[in-house]
Chain A
Amino acid sequence: MRAPNSLKQEFLKKWKSGLQICSSCSKNMSIFERKKAIKLSADVAMASARNGRTCWSRALIANASKNDNNKLLVEHILGNSEFQRLNKISIMRPTMSNKRVRCKKILKRSCGTIRRVSKRVVPQKILASCVAKRLSTKRTQVLKSLVPGGEFMDDVSLIEETLDYIMSLQTQIDVMRSLANATELVLRSKNEQW
Chain B
Amino acid sequence: MEPDAGTRPRSITIQPSLDQNALDSLQLNEEIQHLMTVPPENANSFTALLELPAPQAMELLHHSPESNASAAPPYHFSGGANLTFPSNIALIERAARFSVFAAAAAADNNNNNSPETTGSVPSNSTGNPGKVKSEPAESDSNHDNPNSPQPSQNQKSMKRKEREKKAKAATKRSKNGANESSEDAEKLPYVHVRARRGQATDSHSLAERARREKINARMKLLQELVPGCSKISGTALVLDEIINHVQSLQHQVEFLSMRLAAVNPRIDVNLDSILAAESGSLMDYSSMVMPLMWPELQVSGNRQQFEQQWHHDAHPQPAWGREENNNFLTPENSLLSYDSSANSASLHSNHLKMEL
Q: Which residues of A contact B (CB under 8 A)?
A: 1-9, 12, 16, 19-20, 22-23, 27, 29, 31-32, 34-39, 42-43, 50-51, 53-55, 104, 111, 114-115, 132, 135-136, 139-140, 142-143, 146-147, 155-157, 159-160, 162-167, 169-170, 172-174, 176-192
Q: Chain A contacts of B262 at CB under 8 A?
A: 31
A-B contact pairs, 21 of them (CB 8 A): A2-B316, A6-B66, A34-B264, A38-B267, A139-B239, A142-B243, A146-B246, A159-B215, A159-B218, A167-B225, A170-B249, A172-B253, A173-B249, A173-B309, A182-B321, A185-B281, A185-B289, A186-B278, A187-B352, A188-B355, A190-B338
Chain A residues closer than 8 Å to B169, beta-carbon distance: none
Task: From known contacts A42-B257, A169-B253, infer whether A184 and B243 are also in contact, taking CB-CB under 8 Å.
Answer: no
Closest to B211 in A: A156
* Contact of B38 with A by CB under 8 A: no
A38 and B278 in contact, given A166-B246, A181-B285 (Cβ under 8 angstroms): no
Chain A contacts for B46, CB-based, 8 A: 160
Give the chain B neighbours of A5 by CB distance below 8 A.
65, 320, 323
B residues within 8 A CB of A104?
145
- B267 adjacent to A22 (CB under 8 Å): yes
Q: Is the CB of B274 within 8 A of A38?
A: no
Closest to A89 in B: B80
A20 partner residues in chain B, CB cutoff 8 A: 268
Give the complex CA separation of A176 and B260 in angstroms: 8
Query: Is A166's CB under 8 angstroms from B225's CB?
Result: yes
Residues A23 and B267 in contact, CB atoms below 8 Å apart:
yes
Known: A143-B243, A156-B215, A183-B274. A162 touches B222 (CB 8 A): yes
Residue total for B at the interface (Cβ-Cβ under 8 A): 82
Contact of B69 among A6, A166, A181 (CB under 8 A): A6
Q: What 0/1 readout, one digit per residue, does chain B (251-275) give for beta carbons within 8 Å of chain A?
A: 0111011111111101111010111
Q: Which of A2, A37, A146, A160 has a CB less than 8 Å from the CB of B85?
A: A160
Per-residue 0/1 for B306-330: is the Cβ within 8 Å of any A Cβ (1 yes, 0 no)? Answer: 0001000100110011011001000
Q: Flag if A146 contacts B256 (CB, 8 Å).
A: no
| Contact partners of B215 in chain A: CB under 8 A | 155-156, 159
Residue contact B250 to A169, C-beta cutoff 8 Å: yes
Given contacts A31-B345, A38-B260, A188-B352, contact A182 B275 (CB under 8 A): yes
On chain B, the residues within 8 Å of A140 by CB distance are 239
Please, how many angstroms separate the alpha-carbon atoms of A3 and B86 in the complex? 13
Q: Are B236 and A132 in contact, CB atoms less than 8 angstroms apart?
A: yes
* B interface residues (Cβ-Cβ under 8 A, vs A): 46, 65-66, 69, 83-86, 88-91, 93-94, 142, 145, 204, 208, 211, 214-215, 218-219, 221-222, 225-226, 235-236, 239-240, 242-243, 245-247, 249-250, 252-254, 256-264, 266-269, 271, 273-275, 277-278, 281, 285, 288-289, 292, 309, 313, 316-317, 320-321, 323-324, 327, 335, 338, 340, 345, 347, 351-352, 355
Name the B residues within 8 Å of A35 (CB-CB): 254, 257-258, 260-261
Cβ–Cβ < 8 Å partners of B218 in chain A: 156, 159-160, 163
Nearest-CB distance from A13 to chain B (Å)?
Answer: 9
Nearest Cβ on chain A to B261's Cβ, whole angstroms? 4
B253 and A173 contact, CB distance less than 8 A? yes
In the bound complex, do residue B256 and residue A1 qualify as a contact, i.e. CB atoms below 8 Å apart?
no
* B261: contacting residue among A38, A167, A188, CB under 8 A: A38
Q: Which residue of A lies closest to B315 (CB)?
A: A2
Secondary structure type dominating chain A contacts: helix
A-B contacts counted at CB < 8 A amount to: 217
Give the docked Cα–Cα distance between A169 and B316 (Å): 16
Do A182 and B243 touch (CB < 8 A)? no
What's the minimum C-beta distance from A83 to chain B, rounded to whole angstroms? 16
Kindly identify which residue among A43, A50, A174, A184 contacts B316, using a CB–CB cutoff of 8 Å.
A174
Q: Is the CB of B340 within 8 A of A187?
A: yes
Q: Is the CB of B246 within 8 A of A143?
A: yes
User: What is the bound-complex CA distance between A170 and B249, given in angstroms?
Assistant: 7
Q: What residue of chain A has the Cβ atom nearest to residue B344's Cβ?
A: A31
| Cβ–Cβ contact B288 & A157, under 8 A | no
Decide if B271 touches A16 in the complex (CB within 8 Å): yes
Q: Chain A residues near B274: list those with CB within 8 A.
A: 179, 182-183, 186
Closest to B285 in A: A181
> 7 closest A-B pairs (Cβ-Cβ)?
A34-B261, A35-B261, A39-B257, A139-B239, A159-B218, A23-B268, A135-B236
Known contacts A51-B86, A183-B260; is-contact A146 B243 (Cβ 8 Å): yes
Known: A167-B91, A176-B257, A183-B260. Is A23-B249 also a contact (CB below 8 A)? no
Question: A119 to nearest B CB, angstroms?
Answer: 9
Given A3-B90, A39-B257, 17 new contacts (CB under 8 A): A2-B316, A5-B65, A9-B327, A27-B266, A35-B258, A55-B83, A159-B219, A159-B222, A163-B91, A163-B225, A166-B245, A176-B256, A178-B321, A183-B269, A185-B278, A188-B352, A190-B340
Rounded to whole angstroms, the CA-CA distance of A114 and B249 in the bound complex is 43
Contact A179 B260 (CB under 8 A): yes
Of all chain B residues, which has the CB nearest A167? B90
